């Protein structure tokens, strides 16, 4: 595990965007795994500006997003498809047909696991970007998730619903389920970059970096990955030994 310490989320965005763009420039048909939430926004902002400045070509890039809220159509302004279009895809020359987000209208795990088949069909994910939940979730793999899990319908914990309520008018509007890539789906990526910033993530970061590997902290499974870079700021690292 490689650890990069930065001062804040703004600097994290610059560092992570540089790492991603380096991979895009070295492999034009790269397959990227992408994340939503507040952590990667500065990364996407830097990707957009640098792609324009340096004329970086995204036309052969394929992307797979980690998750989507169950029950939200892709056109809903709180759906992760809407988020990705708004925060990244609409501003670079990527082909929309090469961008994949799980459907929020899936009703069975059999349907959900077709997402893993689609990833496999594209040769697997070369680089997966992750955020980190305050309870250690990655994607929407909440505490207790199966380390061998593939894409499936998952229940969101109360803490996750509360954390995500800031994006909705009312907490009761927050979906209680999601479709999420499983921990095995994530671990199958050839490389992983994880962003964690802010004091609220400090305990999760401690368990991610220091272990032990436990289903109580799903992020701890990443200790088993052979090529992972963790980008953390001063606040998120304050509980590390």
Q: Looking at residue 141, what DSSP letter applies? A: B
Residue 93 a catalytic site member: no
- What's the order of all strands across the beta sheet hosting 67-69? 67-69, 177-180, 152-155
Distance CA(218)–CA(209), nearest Å, equals 12
Active-site position among 9, 46, 65, 67: 67
Residues facing 128 on adjacent strands: 33, 192
Phi-psi region of 213 (alpha: psi -120 to 50; beta: other; left: phi over 0): beta
Torsion of CA 170, 79, 93, 40, to 10 degrees: 60
Residue 142 a catalytic site member: yes
- Find the angle CA(201)-CA(180)-CA(224) to the nearest 5 degrees: 60
Distance CA(7)–CA(119), nearest Å, equals 35
Q: Looking at residue 149, what DSSP letter applies? A: -
Active-site position among 9, 65, 135, 164: 135
- What's the order of all strands across the beta sheet hosting 31-34? 2-6, 228-233, 191-196, 127-130, 31-34, 62-65, 99-100
Active-site position among 137, 141, 164, 233: 137
Distance CA(34)–CA(74), nearest Å, equals 16
Active-site position among 142, 164, 188, 207: 142
Residue 173 a catalytic site member: no
Straight-line distance from the first to the last Cα atom of the chain, in angstroms, rounded to the nearest whole number: 16
Residue 76 a catalytic site member: no
Which residues are catalytically annotated?
Answer: 67, 135, 137, 142
């Amino acid at each position: 595990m490689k650890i990069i310490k930065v001062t804040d989320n703004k600097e994290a965005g610059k560092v992570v965007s540089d790492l991603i763009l380096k991979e895009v420039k070295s492999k034009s048909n790269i397959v990227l795994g992408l994340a939503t939430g507040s952590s990667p926004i500065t990364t996407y902002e830097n990707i957009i500006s640098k792609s324009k400045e340096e004329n970086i070509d995204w036309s052969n890039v394929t992307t797979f997003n980690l998750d989507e809220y169950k029950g939200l159509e892709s056109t809903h302004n709180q759906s992760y498809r809407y988020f990705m279009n708004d925060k990244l895809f609409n501003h670079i020359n990527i082909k929309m047909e090469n961008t994949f987000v799980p459907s929020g209208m899936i009703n069975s795990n059999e349907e959900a696991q077709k997402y893993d088949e689609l990833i496999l069909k594209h040769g697997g994910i070369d680089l997966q970007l992750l955020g980190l939940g305050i309870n250690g979730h990655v994607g929407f793999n909440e505490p207790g998730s199966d380390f061998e899990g593939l894409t499936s319908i998952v229940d969101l914990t109360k803490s996750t619903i509360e954390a995500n309520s800031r994006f909705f008018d009312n907490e009761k509007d927050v979906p209680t389920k999601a479709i999420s890539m499983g921990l095995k789906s994530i671990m199958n990526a050839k490389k992983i970059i994880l962003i964690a910033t802010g004091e609220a993530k400090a305990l999760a970061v401690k368990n991610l970096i220091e272990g032990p590997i436990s289903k109580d902290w799903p992020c701890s499974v990443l200790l088993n990955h052979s090529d992972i870079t963790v980008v953390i700021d001063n606040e998120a690292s304050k509980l590390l030994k």
